[in-house]
Each structure stands twice: as structure tokens, then as C-alpha cells.
Structure 1
Amino acid sequence: MRKLLATLIPMVVPMAAAIAAETPLRPDQLAYRALYKEMVETDTSITTGSCTALADKIEGHLRKAGFTDAEIHRFAVPEAPKEGGIVAVLPGTSKTAKPILLLGHLDVVVAKREDWTRDPYTFIEEGGYFYGRGVADMKAMDAIWVDMLMRWRMAGKVPKRTIKLALTCGEETSTAFNGAKWLSENRRNLIDAEFALNEGGSGRTDKPLEQGGRVVVQTMHVGEKTPVNYRVEATNPGGHSSAPIKDNAIYELSDALARIRDFDFPLMLNDTTRAYFSKAGAARGDAMGKAMVAIAANPVDKAAEATLNTDRSFHSMLRTTCVATLLDGGHANNALPQRAGANINCRIFPGVSAEDVRKTLESVIADPKMTVVRTDNRGPEAKAPPLNPAILGPAEKLVAKYYPGVPLVPVMSTGATDGVFLSAVGIPSYGPPGLFGNPDGGGTHGLNERVYVKSVMTGRDLLTDLVTAYAF
């Protein structure tokens, strides 16, 4: 998932003019594009798709590149045969250096053809963009990882540090079989690594490239929130709609949702977000930048908080957030509702418990007739990995090479990744920089998902160099 594209900040930093220019693809890029296209056009949504089918195709490519039976590991469970994944290992020469793990999820958010301008499961290049479900979240990176290992194996390149690749299913659906969770709990040795590279890091332009925009920031994903869903529900004896009363489950639910809408959880900072606001704010010359620096220095600066809250991404980075995402209620057109409920999706700041958030929602609703119940348990609470210079240093140098003048900033994702399952078993997960998107998020999880061709191809080169720096 490249859920972070919608959460990054604009900063006025020059960008090489070549970023906006389209150039013919090199032969190696054309081969990558074909792999990427195949991945996007293989439906891996929970409703109509199959991660296992895509894992089959990836296995075929890896075997053609020279990977052996001992280096390819397939996994699935009987109750979820379409949600299988694959692990591949490129052995290194070092007996002491721990491996690194490249992680990616194959599944995508469901897309309905009738809602999209283009067929979501057809890979389309148009106007400098790639379109299709998963082009950004996260099949571009999946294809980069696979293509990278294939090229090295075919070229006979052997790393010092073993490189592992795990492509899993279930990241986008809380009720699905989650391959990253299963591997961490059942095949920990197979994915054992000093650290993992995963989704979450990226860059953002100040406005679309076609409108003269520039890449203004690149980020390293260092930590994330914990996603938790709750059901808020009102019940009522109901009755005939010809004799209405004010005691109505739908009205009570509506009142509760309005209270949740108007409530803000308290501001919080951790090492990652404090570094983010301090460094990113210092690179700006506007009022928002000053507010960013001010909040990093003094979290109780209400004037700075008020300024930051005008930006939806900053507002979310500074606290736990909860929002209504699904509604249901009533049972007949001519009957008073006996039940009305809503799903409340919360993104919980690291260190805050899910139970404390549930109790806060109860307090905010302030209606003893309503219930607030946690409905899922995706996994462990998120832990922020350390701001490790050995991880951030090489990434910073490569950002300077590929995006001159653009800062690399550590960031805490307001979304969620499968990195939480790795962190829980002692494998810190980082989202490297490389690709970039528009401030509007590029349709990720929404309609007409898209990513710049230039973003993907530049990101592919940067990430190849980055893994080389870590492993060779």
C-alpha cells in the first residue's frame, strides 16, 4: 500500500528540470515494465482476485532467472487458498552479517469497473502516468523487488549480505489471511533479518508535474499508527413509522457520529514525528514551516497546533484519529429502526492502547444506550523502529543523487503496513524513499489510481542502488 502519498508536506525546494521530462525507456526498464504490467493486470483483490495466482507467476519468473527449489518457498493455508504468498532468498557470502528482508503485499483494495474511468485491472499508460489498481499501492515496489533479484541472479552478482524477499497477501483486508503475520508467527527463521524494507516511504510534489510541480520532499518511513475498527451501535424496540417518536436509533447514531466528528484526540509527538516536523519545517519559508518547527520544540504551542491542524495530513500525524467509514440501519421502509450502527476506523498513535481509545469514544458519545465494541484485532500495536543512521545515511545520499536539493525526512505513517508484524518479532521495518506522487494521493484506495512513469522508473533505480548499498 503507498498510503503515505497523501500525508506528506509541500516544501519549496528546487528539483532538476529533468524530472518532468519523459525519455525513452532502457531495455532493462522495458523488461521491468512488462513485469509490472503483468502484476497490475493480475487481480489480487479479496473479492474477485487471487494472490496465489500472482505468486505462481512470480515463481515462474524467478525460476527462469535461475532461482532454485531451495531458494523459493511457497506458503498458504487451506482455509484461504487464494491468499498464498512467496518467499525467495538470494544467498550472500558473509557468515556474520544478518540478512535484509524486502517485504511487499500482493493484494489490492477492491475496485469496481463501473466507478472507474478506465478498467482498474488493465495497465494503462497515459499522459505520463501509469493507471490501474495497485500501480502505486504497492505493485510498483513489488515489481522492483522481483526485478532486482532476477537481474542480479541472471548477472551472477552475489551479495555479501543475504537478501530475502517476502511477498504476501492480506494487508488490505483485516479479515483476510495475512501472510506477513503468518510468516512472523510460523516461519520466523525463513524471514529472519537485521531489518526490513517495506512500503511507506516516498516523496511528494508541491503540485502536479504537468502544472509545473516539483518533487519537494522524500521520506523514510520510520513507524506507523495502529489501525483498529470499532462498531458504534444504537438499538431500539422500533414500531410503526406512522407513529414516529424522537427516540430513534438512526437519530441517536447520527448524534453520536456528530460528536465523534467534532472531537480531537490530544496532540502527541514521538522521536520520529518530532524529527519530521523540525527538519521538514526548517526547509520551508512559510507560516506552516514555522509552525512545524514550533510544535517540535513546544508541543503545547496552541497557535502552532491550530496552524498545523489546517493541513489534514499534519492533523493526523499529531494524534490518534477516528472516523466513520460504514453505516447500516433499519429493517423496513415503513418501520422505525430497531438497530443502527457505524464502523469507526481509528488510527492510533504509538503507545496508546486500543482499549483507551474505545473508552474515549464512549465518553465522547456520552449516551449509555449506545455501545462501542472493538470489531477486529489485526495484530500487535505498532512500535516505532530506531532512527538508525546506518539505515538513513545511505538513503540520504541517494536522495541527494536522484533528487538534488530535496531533503530526506523521517516520517511516521498515518496509515498502516505489515511492518507491525515484523517489528513485533524483532525485525525493524523501514519504508525507503524513491518514488513520489501528487499531494492528492494519486487515487490510492480510491478511484483511478495512478502514479507517474517518471516516479516509478526513478524510484526503481534509487531502490536498486539502496539495496546494493546495504547488501553488497
Structure 2
Amino acid sequence: MAPSDDTSTESRAEAEVVELTSQLIRIDTTNTGDPATVVGEEEAARWVIAQLEEVGYETTYVESGMPGRANVFCRLPGADPARGALLMHGHLDVVPAEPGEWSVHPFSGAVKDGYVWGRGAVDMKDMVAMTLAVARQFKAEGVVPPRDVVFAFLADEEAGGKWGSHWLVEHRPDLFAGVTEAVGEVGGFSLTVARPDGAERRLYLLETAEKGIAWMRLRATATPGHGSFLHSDNAVTRLAEAVARLGNHTFPLVMTDSVREFLTATGEETGLDFDPDSPDLDGTLAKLGSIARIVGATLRDTANPTMLQAGYKANVIPATAEAVVDCRVLPGRRAAFEAEVDALLGPDIEREWVTALEPYETTFDGELVDAMNAALLAHDPHARLVPYMLSGGTDAKAFDKLGIRCFGFAPLQLPPELDFAALFHGIDERVPVSALKFGTRVLDQFLRTC
């Protein structure tokens, strides 16, 4: 079902979601990872509170561990309070953006060429705006969902959630009282694939799993000395060799349930053979377009060196050298991954975890999945919902600690030619206006039947 250009039948939520997205983007909520330089989270949270209280919600404002790390909660009572509540969550922070690299200012929230442009347009102020628009409509029109719905707008996801979801789970579990399931990022977006008969099919990717995040610091220690001498015991050389071994290593292919189900469903639609034993599996994946970067990264663990630090003067050999490595680990692979890393690094390299967040995986079944599928089919009769694993991480890692079953479902019907994966943390991040309206319709339907 193609998006309609007829605005006369738009719901209240559809009519305001584009402007809500634009206004959110205009609030610079850059999260540098350094609490001293984070900006805008409190301003965005106060703005969200104003939108919610305008239609009658009672809101709770919580700072997670330090001033300005702002979170907003509200609850919409459902018809059956005995049922477990549903958490609809989104984060307010965004990664940094360099204005000189963009064709529009990254915090302009510009609406042009059928898109809303700016940092956060897909990660994830689009979903925040869609959720907010539906929440406002339900309260204003007196809609009662089948179960309690808790709306949460959170801080610090882009730096791992230490001063956001993880702090809240540890210190304020009462805010999640009665919640059994949760919906957030990154899923629900469409992937258009070609069928063997030449027709196109839209698959909507439901996130049922995500890799673990393990940021690792490596340190080499050796004998310092003068840069002009012969020097066989050099910390920089030792570290560089170890980092190169790790960075060039390919970890073994591991087929998790979520990835296997995604490849099976995609193979059924495309006729492609995603044989895990094929030496050309990566080449077959490439035929799926930009999504292949995400899927390929969920077939194995990864360890990518990202930072190096050593020395203080050109002619002084330093005593120590350090590196930071971004590791992403599949469910069930932590012990094997660490053993493999240690074997690659060797005994002379010290290793410590800077951040370690566990993987997450749930099954592709249940009433909530059925409700998401039905909501999609109501607005795209040719849709097919399929599970997949996210190569990154979300706040689901925190909510899993409370026994909450989590999914990524931010529904967007995307143009087939759009390189959606490249927009996450990318230059000229943008979301189609038609996709925002489509997603708002789907979320409206979903929350009426969840």
C-alpha cells in the first residue's frame, strides 16, 4: 500500500509527526561520551514533558546519576491492568555531527525533498516523535490500549546507557513496575528485495537480537629510551604488532537463531542460497544491498581497533603504549571470544574491559510479534515481518536485566534505493516524510491491539 497524498484523512498523530521530528532535531542533544561536554538532554526532556502534559499526562522527570542526564516517564492505563505492561522507549541523545560535512545544518530539522534532515533523524528522534505523536493522540482522544503502556524517553544511549537506562534499571526499577515486554530501536524498517519472478517484496526487519558490546583497552609495557639507539624492546612496536594481528583476524562464522531465520526468510523471497558453508557467502549477502553490512557483521564476532596512544616526544621511546578496540560479540560466544583474543595478543599485552554489555536474543514468536505483524499488514498488505540481529546495541541490554522481553520495532516504509544503514551516525542523516507517516499509522494500530 503506497503512502497516500490525501491529508484529509490523516489522524492527529500523522498530521503532527513531521513537525515533532523536526523540533526534536533542532534541540542539539549531542552525546560526546564525556559527561562534561554532553548537551541538550535536559532541554529535550523538558520539551517532551510539555508535549505530554499539554494533552493531560502526568509525567515523571528523573536525572540518572548526575545533573542534566534527563529521562521522562509517563503511563497510559490499559483496559486490563492485570496484564503485563508494555514499555515504549526511545533515547533523546545523538552522536556528534560536524556541520561542515553536511549539505544542511545537522541541527536544522529541515524538511525538504520529501525528507526530514538532521542528526537523529533515524537514530532515533524519528521513533521518539512517532511514539510521542501516538501517545498524544491516544490521551487527547481517550483511547484505551489493551494493556498499560509506559512511555520512556531516555538519556545516554549513544554512550552505552551508563547514565541512562542502566542507571535507571539499577537505581529506579520502580519506574518499570509491571513491565513484561518492551519496544524500541532498531527494527521495523523495510528492505525491498527482488523475487525470482522479477517482482519486489518488502521485508520488515524486526530486531530480536543484538550483539554484545565490549570496548577493550590494550597496553604494552617495555623499556623506555632514546629514539636514536638500537632498541629491540619497544612498547609501540609490541602493541602495534598485536593490534595488527587482532585487527586482521577473521573470527569463525557462527549461525545464531535470529540470523538463520532472517537468511531462511530472505532466501525464500529472493531465491538466493545463503549457505553458511559457501565460500562466497559474503558475495551472496552483497546482493541484498546496504543491509549486507549489518547482516555480515552478525555472522561472526568482530574486534576493530579504533584508538591508539603512545609517547610524548619524537625522540623518546615510551615505556607504555595503549590501544582501544571495539569488540562486538555474538550471544553465547563470550568465553570463546576472549580465549581467541588472548591467543592473538600473546602474553606481553595487558587487556582490560572498558565497557562490557551482554548480547541479547529472544524468539520470533508470541502475541506481541503477532500484533506487530498485523499492524504492518493493515498498512502494507504485501509486507513480511522477519527477525534479524542488530550488529550494534541498544537500551534493550539494560531492560533485559529486569527480565523484560525486548524487540526493535520502529516501522518505516523506505524507498528501495535509500541506503538506510549508511544514515545511522552518517552524514546527511534523514528520514522520508512518507515513512514517518507510515510508521505513525502502524504504531497507532499496534498500540491499539498490543
**TM-score per shorter chain, which class?**
0.7 to 0.9
Deviation at 1:290, TM superposition (A): 0.5
Alignment CA distance shift 1:449-1:396 (3 Å): same
2:252 pairs, out of 262, 266, 270, with 266
Matched, 1:64 2:54: yes
Deviation at 1:407, TM superposition (A): 2.1
Q: Which amino acid aligns with 1:317?
A: T
Dislocated runs of 4+, deviation >6 Å: 21-25
Alignment of 1:109-124 (within 5 A): 109-124=95-110
Alignment CA distance shift 1:116-1:248 (3 Å): farther
Matched, 1:32 2:17: yes
Q: Which amino acid aligns with 2:226?
A: H
Deviation at 1:230, TM superposition (A): 0.4
Distance 1:23 1:363 in 2: 62
**430-439 vs 126-135, which moves further:** 430-439
Aligned to 1:166: 152
Aligned to 1:148: 134
Alignment of 1:370-409 (within 5 A): 370-378=349-357, 381-409=358-386
Q: Which amino acid aligns with 2:367?
A: A
Deviation at 1:306, TM superposition (A): 5.6
Q: Which amino acid aligns with 2:325?
A: I
Matched, 1:290 2:270: no
SS at match of 1:303: coil
The C-alpha deviation readout for 1:177-225, integer Å capped at 9, x for no partner, is 12x2233233334323231111121324459xxxxx9774211111211
Distance 1:324 1:214 in 2: 39
**422-431 vs 369-378, which moves further:** 369-378
Q: Which amino acid aligns with 2:352?
A: V
2:322 pairs, out of 341, 364, 385, with 341
The C-alpha deviation readout for 1:321-342, integer Å capped at 9, x for no partner, is 1111222222113323433222
Alignment of 1:208-287 (within 5 A): 216-243=202-229, 245=231, 247-285=233-271
Distance 1:396 1:92 in 2: 21
Deviation at 1:152, TM superposition (A): 1.0
Matched, 1:448 2:428: yes
Deviation at 1:249, TM superposition (A): 3.0
The C-alpha deviation readout for 1:305-334, integer Å capped at 9, x for no partner, is 464576443331112111112222221133
SS at match of 2:179: coil
Alignment CA distance shift 1:234-1:24 (3 Å): farther
Deviation at 1:449, TM superposition (A): 1.6
Aligned to 1:185: 170
Aligned to 1:303: 279
Distance 2:309 2:71 in 1: 34
Alignment of 1:322-471 (within 5 A): 322-353=303-334, 356-366=336-346, 368-378=347-357, 381-432=358-409, 434-436=411-413, 438-439=418-419, 441-470=421-450
Q: Which amino acid aligns with 2:76?
A: L
Alignment CA distance shift 1:262-1:309 (3 Å): farther
Distance 2:23 2:300 in 1: 39
Distance 1:443 1:249 in 2: 38
Alignment CA distance shift 1:64-1:175 (3 Å): closer
Q: Which amino acid aligns with 2:380?
A: Y
**29-38 vs 246-255, which moves further:** 246-255
The C-alpha deviation readout for 1:262-286, integer Å capped at 9, x for no partner, is 212222223222211111121113x
Deviation at 1:110, TM superposition (A): 1.9
Deviation at 1:440, TM superposition (A): 5.2
2:90 pairs, out of 80, 100, 104, with 104
**197-206 vs 453-462, which moves further:** 197-206
Distance 2:69 2:265 in 1: 41
Aligned to 2:34: none
Deviation at 1:24, TM superposition (A): 6.2
Q: Which amino acid aligns with 1:320?
A: D
Alignment CA distance shift 1:64-1:409 (3 Å): same
SS at match of 1:415: coil
SS at match of 2:108: coil
TM-score under structure 1 length normalisation: 0.83
Aligned to 2:61: 74
The C-alpha deviation readout for 1:101-134, integer Å capped at 9, x for no partner, is 1011111112233443332221112322221111
TM-score under structure 2 length normalisation: 0.87
Aligned to 2:289: none
C-alpha contact (below 8 Å) 1:35/1:143 kept by paired residues: yes
1:53 pairs, out of 19, 28, 43, with 43
Distance 2:17 2:386 in 1: 28
Distance 1:251 1:406 in 2: 54
Matched, 1:319 2:293: no
**Matched residue count:** 429
Q: Which has the higher strand share?
A: 2
Q: Which amino acid aligns with 2:435?
A: S
RMSD of aligned alpha carbons: 2.6
State the identity as a percent.
Answer: 25
C-alpha contact (below 8 Å) 1:444/1:450 kept by paired residues: no
Distance 1:86 1:150 in 2: 14
The C-alpha deviation readout for 1:8-32, integer Å capped at 9, x for no partner, is xxxxxxxx6x46x877695733422
Deviation at 1:395, TM superposition (A): 2.2
The C-alpha deviation readout for 1:279-311, integer Å capped at 9, x for no partner, is 1121113xxx212xx33xxxxx24364645764
Alignment CA distance shift 1:189-1:254 (3 Å): same
